[in-house]
Amino acid sequence: MAEKKISQKTLNTSFWRWWYGNLTCFSQEHMQTFGYMWSMLPIIKELYPTKEEQIEKLNTYSPFFNTEPQIGGLVVGITAGLEEARANGAEDIDDEMINGIRAGLMGPLAGIGDSLIVGTYIPILLGIALGFAEGGSALGPLFYIIVWNVTEILFERFIYKKGYELGGTAVDLLVGEQATAFRESVIVMGQVIVGAMAASWVSVGSPLVIAKDSTGADVLLIDKLDGAFPKLLTCIFVLLAWFLMAKKNMSPVKVLLLYVVIGFVGSVLGLLG
């Protein structure tokens, strides 16, 4: 049987779908999942001839996915290469392996992309554009629109292509002797970044007064808790959200609604704020 190879036309279609459609049907529950599936659809159609196979393989990409959109093209390229290898009989590449790579990479790449692209490159471009726009000149917005789109497209095409080459030629790295160390290191890095994001972005406070000090000033419960365990209340709410989703199978939307109710009631009672 002839080796299956994804055509350049299909790779281009997949790339452009990710570029303009990575936030397709975006929601708090799925985020970039449907954009990912939309990007993988032409690849699945080319590699697998029957509808049954196409549905089965496309379901591989239905689990939750979210990362920094520009650098996320690398993950799409990698899984395109892995899918090609699977279609050619690579037995060690299955749904679990592909989703392990996706889940393990999306966190670290989000941290890198948010820091380098959103937190560094875009502010630099905007700073230059603001200088050009001084006095009402249209050069500023035109500079930003053109430079951002040109450089972003070139960068994303490059990493998508490199990801595809990695996925197609480095199967041994991902499923061979080095696979365990590679996957575990990526997953640990993602967990560290998620933990850091929770500590930085989530803040739960309480205005509850538990005593008066010698000067008559209020002593807050949250100050005492933070003195013993900084951000303990925040940690409790983050772990509760994880418990509800991971152990009780609650959807993210339901958890968000529950937290809205808890926040409202806690605020009315003066327990949270």
**What would the two tokens of residue 165 be?**
């080459």
pLDDT score for 180: 58
Residue 150 pLDDT > 90: yes
Q: Are residues 184 and 242 in the same domain?
A: no
pLDDT score for 209: 79
Average pLDDT over residues 189-214: 73
Residue 190 pLDDT > 60: no
Q: Are residues 224 and 164 in the same domain?
A: no
Residue 120 pLDDT > 70: yes
pLDDT in tens, 206-217: 888 777 777 778
Average pLDDT over residues 243-270: 88
Mean pLDDT of the chain: 80
Q: Are residues 189 and 210 in the same domain?
A: no
Measure the CA–CA gap between 179 and 217, rounded to whole angstroms: 58
Residue 171 pLDDT > 50: no
Q: How far is CA 42 from CA 19, 74, 103, in A?
A: 14, 17, 22
Domain contains 89:
yes
Q: Are residues 108 and 154 in the same domain?
A: yes
Residue 2 DSSP symbol: P
Q: Are residues 88 and 142 in the same domain?
A: yes
* Interior angle at CA 153, CA 99 and CA 104, nearest 5: 20
Q: How confident is the model at residue 174 (pLDDT cuts 50, 70, 90)?
A: very low
- The residues, ordered by sequence, that sit 6+ positions from 112 with a Cβ below 8 Å of its Cβ are 68, 71
Q: Are residues 84 and 107 in the same domain?
A: yes
Beta bridge partner(s), residue 65 = 31
**Who has greater pLDDT, 94 or 9?**
9
Q: How confident is the model at residue 261 (pLDDT cuts 50, 70, 90)?
A: very high
Average pLDDT over residues 222-250: 85
Residue 194 pLDDT > 80: no
Measure the CA–CA gap between 199 and 234, rounded to whole angstroms: 8
Phi-psi region at 181: left, alpha or beta (left = phi > 0; alpha = psi -120 to 50): alpha
Residue 223 pLDDT > 60: yes
pLDDT score for 170: 46
Question: What DSSP string describes 140-195?
Answer: HHHHHHHHHHHHHHHHHHHHHHHHHHHHHH-HHHHHSTTHHHHHHHHHHHHHHHHH
Phi-psi region at 89: left, alpha or beta (left = phi > 0; alpha = psi -120 to 50): left
Measure the CA–CA gap between 131 and 115, rounded to whole angstroms: 23
Q: Into how many domains does the chain fold?
A: 2
pLDDT score for 182: 58
Range of the domain at 21: 8-193
Measure the CA–CA gap between 86 and 4, rounded to whole angstroms: 10
Residue 228 pLDDT > 90: no
**What would the two tokens of residue 65 be?**
């996915």
Q: Are residues 115 and 226 in the same domain?
A: no
Residue 179 pLDDT > 70: no
Instruction: Kindly report the pTM of this predicted structure.
Output: 0.59
- The residues, ordered by sequence, that sit 6+ positions from 263 with a Cβ below 8 Å of its Cβ are 272
